[in-house]
């Protein structure tokens, strides 16, 4: 039985049965009389227990909930009764107030509780456990909640989810509605997680014409940013036009070319884009992208052209010494000897090579020599995990590049730059394949005139997650001194991990049968991805514990996030295996993800306020329901996240191979199936294998693995660093 006749119902929100934090869809019960309650369902983004609500909708019969009101529109008011106020405060909407504390407040101040909080917060100090600081925090939270409600009402009409509405308010505060109304496309840059489609939808609902130049300009800028997310620094103009037309769904019956041309002209005139022409193709980019890559080229050319600072040592004598075993019997091969000499004779040197080729031995010997010359040396790597590996290999203090450059809180850049250069003679940077164009530009700006730069990295690994292909382009340009280590040392040949990494790099299928080798590489053949979860259960519950591995020692590295064998699905399964729900334990569901105490999680964006970066892995150590926060331990640092910021974290029992760069895990499990074919390429599989320290388990379909190994055509990134280094190419 249902009716389309619009009904109006008023009452107090009694219970929230279900709420999807992403879409805002909720099922609630509303007490309409002292003896009668009704069920209502719909997009109820800012509804809390205890509030007075007026609903407009149609009646229907739900198979589970029975007769219910399907809500079309609604309005809420702050409750006036004591019981309503208590439910309202206990609902968790105000940070610092939970059910027990809400009861204390209402007992103390009755129906004047909300008035006291807002107008006389000092009276809260009469409640046990409340000091001036907490009282002010509660007052501000109530005021913010009122303003949030105004923003929610505004954004609800624009179909913006609750989670993003909170983020918008957090970014713009009381100016939210004003800023969004003036330029909704600002949301894309200012509020992480808000994409072009959401901002565009708001813009259209605010009355922006679908064929307006402003909308097309926003479309072009989005096309550039979308290309950047795939590692490109530029996008060719024709592709940008095509993507913009598709993105904006411009009518096919109009001639859009003049509109596109006008938008590009205005962007260029306002210096919002740069234009680069090469090989009869035209490319566009954002000015910061262009200036960063040009800046890298300029500094590299300066380093190449500047003679190395003379050391207090005779180089020929030193070279003769390097050709002999040292006191510990360590003997360098010719490539390692050439590498050390290049580092001493040039302002910039690149050392590249795969696992087991002696990069660490070279660096340790170089450090000994530089110590004898009494020069200042600093070591750095792109991530905390990479820095830790370098420290373990060399025994020398190693910093992240962000810490080395003294990152300024608030995301305003680095304290170390041209005007405040680093105090050093030699900077040795490891895992350079991970360094994107923007970070390399910042690093180079901070190198002093007397400084020498030694770049270490494996050019055969995946390029950086961020835009650019710096290590590859530097080597390919031919202007930098480069030493490539190719020889695999005998002790490394005992490891099937290293043997197979090099086999894959040469286009050969991994082997499990090398005489006298360690049993550190396993291949498990599966016919279908649906078999993976059962295999993981067996590995984690039986085989890995028998081999002495704990769950924290193990990481699953999948090529992609989606699909039956993707990280999202694997994480759900491993969470159920390793950290299942417990009776009476706290768990939080946000952004369609369950978070539990003890979960391993990964940061998926750079958060400069917290000084935590994309790819950092931590563990949830506390959950605070009353404060609407969780605590995550990253290394030795504990960081707090509000529930509304949990989309910055994802489960990390399994991560993408791209995100594993610079890391090393006791054991890695690498699932490879045909469903991954879009991303399968040689350097992806090579990178995954080289992440394993003691055990590598390759799982999947032989055909898919072979296909990936044969594919040595990595996606070419649109960069011009090589051209800037070797030609007079410039932007217009």
Reported as a pLDDT band with limits 50, 70 and 90, residue 73 is confident
Cα 692 from Cα 654, distance rounded (Å): 14
Q: What is the mean pLDDT of residues 108-117?
A: 85
Q: What is the mean pLDDT of residues 89-98?
A: 71
CB-neighbour burial class of residue 312 (10 A; exposed 0-12, middle 13-18, buried 19+): exposed
Cβ-proximal residues to 279 (8 Å cutoff; 6+ apart), any chain: none
Cα 190 from Cα 435, distance rounded (Å): 24
DSSP classification of residue 414: B
Read out DSSP for 383-411? SHHHHHHHHHHH-S-EEEHHHHTTBPTTT
Token pair 């994309």 is found at: 614
End-to-end CA distance of the chain: 68
Q: What is the mean pLDDT of residues 531-544?
A: 94
Tokens found for residue 520: 């550190």
What is residue 162's predicted lDDT score, i.e. its pLDDT? 62
Q: Are 219 and 273 in contact (CB under 8 A)?
A: no
Cα 439 from Cα 462, distance rounded (Å): 17
Reported as a pLDDT band with limits 50, 70 and 90, residue 394 is very high
Cα 197 from Cα 185, distance rounded (Å): 10
What is residue 95's predicted lDDT score, i.e. its pLDDT? 67
What is residue 23's predicted lDDT score, i.e. its pLDDT? 60
Cα 241 from Cα 223, distance rounded (Å): 9
Q: Is the pLDDT of residue 158 over 60?
A: yes
Cβ-proximal residues to 146 (8 Å cutoff; 6+ apart), any chain: none
What is residue 100's predicted lDDT score, i.e. its pLDDT? 81
148-162, 371-385, 400-414, 488-502 — which is least confidently predicted? 148-162
Reported as a pLDDT band with limits 50, 70 and 90, residue 488 is confident
Reported as a pLDDT band with limits 50, 70 and 90, residue 626 is low
Reported as a pLDDT band with limits 50, 70 and 90, residue 493 is confident
Determine phi and psi for 529, rounding to 5 degrees. Answer: -65, -25
- pLDDT tens by residue, 654-712: 999 999 988 899 999 999 998 877 778 999 999 999 999 999 999 999 999 999 999 88
What is residue 45's predicted lDDT score, i.e. its pLDDT? 66
Reported as a pLDDT band with limits 50, 70 and 90, residue 114 is confident
- pLDDT tens by residue, 398-420: 999 999 999 886 656 899 999 99
Q: Are 486 and 506 in contact (CB under 8 A)?
A: no
Residue 482 exposure: Cα atoms within 13 Å on the Cβ side: 17
**DSSP run (H or E) holding 532:** helix 532-538
Best CA proximity match to 682, nearest among 709, 661, 656, 658: 709
171-175, 525-529, 614-618 — which is least confidently predicted? 171-175
The neighbouring-strand residues paired with 379 are 398, 428
15-19, 57-61, 364-368, 480-484 — which is least confidently predicted? 15-19
What is residue 549's predicted lDDT score, i.e. its pLDDT? 95
Q: Are 690 and 664 in contact (CB under 8 A)?
A: no
Per DSSP, which regions of 51-190 are E strands?
52-62, 66-77
Q: Phi-psi bin for 513: left (phi > 0), alpha (psi -120 to 50), beta?
A: beta
Best CA proximity match to 615, nearest among 400, 355, 399, 437: 400
- pLDDT tens by residue, 435-453: 999 999 999 999 999 999 9
The neighbouring-strand residues paired with 407 are 414
Higher pLDDT, residue 299 or 89 = 299
Token pair 């019969």 is found at: 61
Reported as a pLDDT band with limits 50, 70 and 90, residue 1 is very low
Nearest-5° angle of CA 79, CA 80, CA 86? Answer: 65
Best CA proximity match to 475, nearest among 453, 457, 462: 457
SS3 content of the chain, % helix, strand, coil (to 5): 40, 20, 35
Kindly tell me the sign of the dihedral angle through the C-alpha atoms of 542, 546, 551, 556: negative
Nearest-5° angle of CA 616, CA 622, CA 628? Answer: 95
Helices 359-372 and 334-345 pack at an angle, to 10 degrees, of: 40
Nearest 10 degrees: Cα torsion 448, 451, 453, 454 = -150
Token pair 């040469």 is found at: 506
**DSSP run (H or E) holding 631:** strand 629-634
What is residue 475's predicted lDDT score, i.e. its pLDDT? 97
Percent residues over pLDDT 70 in the chain: 95
Q: What is the mean pLDDT of the chain?
A: 88
Cα 114 from Cα 123, distance rounded (Å): 12
- pLDDT tens by residue, 311-331: 877 888 888 888 877 767 778
- pLDDT tens by residue, 215-227: 999 999 999 999 9
CB-neighbour burial class of residue 208 (10 A; exposed 0-12, middle 13-18, buried 19+): middle
CA 211 to each of CA 207, 226, 577: distance values in angstroms, whole numbers, following the listed order? 12, 21, 52
What is residue 122's predicted lDDT score, i.e. its pLDDT? 83
Cα 536 from Cα 637, distance rounded (Å): 31
Cα 368 from Cα 50, distance rounded (Å): 70
Q: What is the mean pLDDT of residues 154-158?
A: 73
What is residue 409's predicted lDDT score, i.e. its pLDDT? 67
Q: Is the pLDDT of residue 292 over 80?
A: yes
Q: Are 236 and 718 in contact (CB under 8 A)?
A: yes
Name the strands in the sheet holding 348-353, side by side, starting at the edge strand that comes first in the sequence.
398-400, 377-381, 426-429, 452-457, 348-353, 482-485
What is residue 198's predicted lDDT score, i.e. its pLDDT? 85
Classified as helix, coil or strand, 572 is helix
Best CA proximity match to 289, nearest among 215, 231, 348, 220: 231
Tokens found for residue 552: 């924290």
Tokens found for residue 609: 């306020």
Best CA proximity match to 651, nearest among 579, 699, 711: 579
Tokens found for residue 211: 């064929």
Best CA proximity match to 146, nearest among 93, 92, 110: 93
Read out DSSP for 156-207? HTTT--HHHHHHHHHHHGGGHHHHHHH-TTHHHHHSTT--HHHHHHHHHHTT
Kindly tell me the sign of the dihedral angle through the C-alpha atoms of 195, 196, 197, 200: positive
Tokens found for residue 287: 């000015």
Classified as helix, coil or strand, 686 is helix
**DSSP run (H or E) holding 130:** none
């Amino acid at each position: 039985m249902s009716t389309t006749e619009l009904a109006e119902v008023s009452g107090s929100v009694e219970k929230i049965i279900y709420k999807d934090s992403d879409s805002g869809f909720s099922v609630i019960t509303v007490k309409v009389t002292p003896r009668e309650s009704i069920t209502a369902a719909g997009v109820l983004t800012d509804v809390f227990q205890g509030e007075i609500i007026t609903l407009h909708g149609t009646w229907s019969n739900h198979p589970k909930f029975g007769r219910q009101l399907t809500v079309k529109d609604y309005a809420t008011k702050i409750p006036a009764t004591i019981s309503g106020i208590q439910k309202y405060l206990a609902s968790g909407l105000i940070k610092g107030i939970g059910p027990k504390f809400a009861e204390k407040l209402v007992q103390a101040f009755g129906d004047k509780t909300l008035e006291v909080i807002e107008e006389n917060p000092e009276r809260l100090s009469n409640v046990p456990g409340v000091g001036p600081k907490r009282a002010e925090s509660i007052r501000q939270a109530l005021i913010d909640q009122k303003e949030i409600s105004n923003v929610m009402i505004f954004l609800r009409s624009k179909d913006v989810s609750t989670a993003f509405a909170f983020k918008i308010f957090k970014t713009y505060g009381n100016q939210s509605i004003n800023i969004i109304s003036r330029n909704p496309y600002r949301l894309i840059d200012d509020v992480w997680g808000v994409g072009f489609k959401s901002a565009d939808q708001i813009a259209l609902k605010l009355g922006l014409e679908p064929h307006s130049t402003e909308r097309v300009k926003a479309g072009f800028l989005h096309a550039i940013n979308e290309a950047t997310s795939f590692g490109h620094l530029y996008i060719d103009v024709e592709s940008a036009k095509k993507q913009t037309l598709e993105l904006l769904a411009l009518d096919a019956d109009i001639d859009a070319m003049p509109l596109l041309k006008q938008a590009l002209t205005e962007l260029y005139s306002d210096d919002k884009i740069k234009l680069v022409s090469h090989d009869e193709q035209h490319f566009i980019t954002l000015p910061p992208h262009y200036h960063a890559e040009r800046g890298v080229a300029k500094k590299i050319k300066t380093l190449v052209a500047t003679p190395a600072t003379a050391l207090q040592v005779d180089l020929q004598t030193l070279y003769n010494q390097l050709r002999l075993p040292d006191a510990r019997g360590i003997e360098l091969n010719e490539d390692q000897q050439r590498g050390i000499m290049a580092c001493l004779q040039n302002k910039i040197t690149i050392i590249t090579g795969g696992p087991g080729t002696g990069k660490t031995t070279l660096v340790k010997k170089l450090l000994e020599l530089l110590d004898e010359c009494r020069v200042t040396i600093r070591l750095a790597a792109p991530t905390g995990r990479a820095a830790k590996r370098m420290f373990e290999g060399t025994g020398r203090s190693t910093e992240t590049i962000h810490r080395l450059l003294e990152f300024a809180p608030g995301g305003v850049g680095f304290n170390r730059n041209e005007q405040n250069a680093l105090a050093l003679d030699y900077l040795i940077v490891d895992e350079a394949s991970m360094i994107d164009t923007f970070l390399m530009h910042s690093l180079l700006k901070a190198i002093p005139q007397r400084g020498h730069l030694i770049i270490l990295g494996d050019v055969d690994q995946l390029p950086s997650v961020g835009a650019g292909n710096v290590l590859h382009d530097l080597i390919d340009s031919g202007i930098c001194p480069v030493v490539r280590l190719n020889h695999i040392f005998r002790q490394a040949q005992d490891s099937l991990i290293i043997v197979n990494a090099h086999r894959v790099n040469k286009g050969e299928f991994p082997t499990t049968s090398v005489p006298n080798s360690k049993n550190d590489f396993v291949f498990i053949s599966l016919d279908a991805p649906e078999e993976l979860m059962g295999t993981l259960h067996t590995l984690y519950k039986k085989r890995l514990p028998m081999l002495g591995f704990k769950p924290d020692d193990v990481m699953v590295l999948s090529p992609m996030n989606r699909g039956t064998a993707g990280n999202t699905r694997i994480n759900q399964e491993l969470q159920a295996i390793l950290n299942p729900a417990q009776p009476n334990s706290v768990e939080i569901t946000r952004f369609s993800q369950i978070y539990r105490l003890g979960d391993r999680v990964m940061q998926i964006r750079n958060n400069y306020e917290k000084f935590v970066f994309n790819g950092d892995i931590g563990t949830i150590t506390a959950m605070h329901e009353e404060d609407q926060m969780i605590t995550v331990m990253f290394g030795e640092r504990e960081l707090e996240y509000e529930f509304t910021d949990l989309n910055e974290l994802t489960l990390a029992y399994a991560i993408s191979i791209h995100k594993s760069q610079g890391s090393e895990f006791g054991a890695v499990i690498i699932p490879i199936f045909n469903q991954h074919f879009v991303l399968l390429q040689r350097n992806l599989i090579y990178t995954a294998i080289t992440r394993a320290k003691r055990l590598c388990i390759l799982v999947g379909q032989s055909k898919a693995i072979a296909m990936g190994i044969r594919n040595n055509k990595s996606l070419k990134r649109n960069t011009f660093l090589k051209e800037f280094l070797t030609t007079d190419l410039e932007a217009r």
